[in-house]
Copies of this chain bind each other. A is one copy, B any other.
Amino acid sequence: MTAADLRVKKTLLGIENSFLELLKSKEFSKITIQQIADRAMINRATFYLHYTDKFHLLEELIQKRMDRILNIYRPAAHLTEGILYKDRFINTIKYVFQLVEEDSGFYELLIKREDIGNLKHRFETAILHVFQERFHSLFGQQALPLPKDILLTFLSTAISSMLYWWLANSKPYTPEQMALFIVQLSIKGPINGSGLELTP
């Protein structure tokens, strides 16, 4: 059952595609293992060699995506030499958007459905972990006027919300542009960053 075996790769791929196809036309609770197997052109028993049930399958599919976010490429220290904190920050956000863009078939399907997985919350926590893990690389050892956790939570929910907006509005900007918007708003704050004036 090593995932290197072509047969395994092919059935896993088949199950995944079959399941996502079915999700387009049916709600999760109405999908049966037999239907998944039929579309994937595999025997029903084979499904159980890889997943315990459809909940497990869904969970794996989501977790796989979250893992990709958690393992976003981070250049080795000597490669970031001389690169501004700001640019590292931009790149990290850009990568998140790129990952979602590459897999937008999956994400566009899932975010608008309440019958399955609280995806938004999982987004937020995944992003939170990324920023937690590489806080110093991104922001340096600067003194903070407020608890780090508050800053990180604020950032994560903001980015997650922007992702949702972006998907719901059919990705009107590139990942790069989205990252720039977010960084601008993060640096100057949403009020000053947007050019709003609070004083008449």
A45 shortest CB reach to chain B, Å: 11
From B6, B41, B42, B43, A41 is in contact (CB under 8 Å) with B6
A8 shortest CB reach to chain B, Å: 11
Q: How large is the interface on A (under 10, 10 to 19, 20 to 34, 35 or more residues)?
A: under 10
**Using Cβ atoms and an 8 Å threshold, which residues of chain B touch A41?**
6, 9-10, 13
For A38, give the chain B residue with the smallest CB separation. B6
**Using Cβ atoms and an 8 Å threshold, which residues of chain B touch A43?**
6
**Using Cβ atoms and an 8 Å threshold, which residues of chain B touch A10?**
10, 41
For A42, give the chain B residue with the smallest CB separation. B6
For A37, give the chain B residue with the smallest CB separation. B6
**Using Cβ atoms and an 8 Å threshold, which residues of chain B touch A42?**
6
A88 shortest CB reach to chain B, Å: 38
A141 to B42, CA, bound (A): 52
A7 shortest CB reach to chain B, Å: 8
Interface centre among A6, A9, A42 (most CB of B within 10 A): A6
Contact with B along A8-44 (1 / 0, CB 8 A): 0110010000000000000000000000000001110
For A9, give the chain B residue with the smallest CB separation. B41
**Using Cβ atoms and an 8 Å threshold, which residues of chain B touch A6?**
41-43
A42 to B43, CA, bound (A): 18
A122 shortest CB reach to chain B, Å: 30
A6 to B43, CA, bound (A): 8
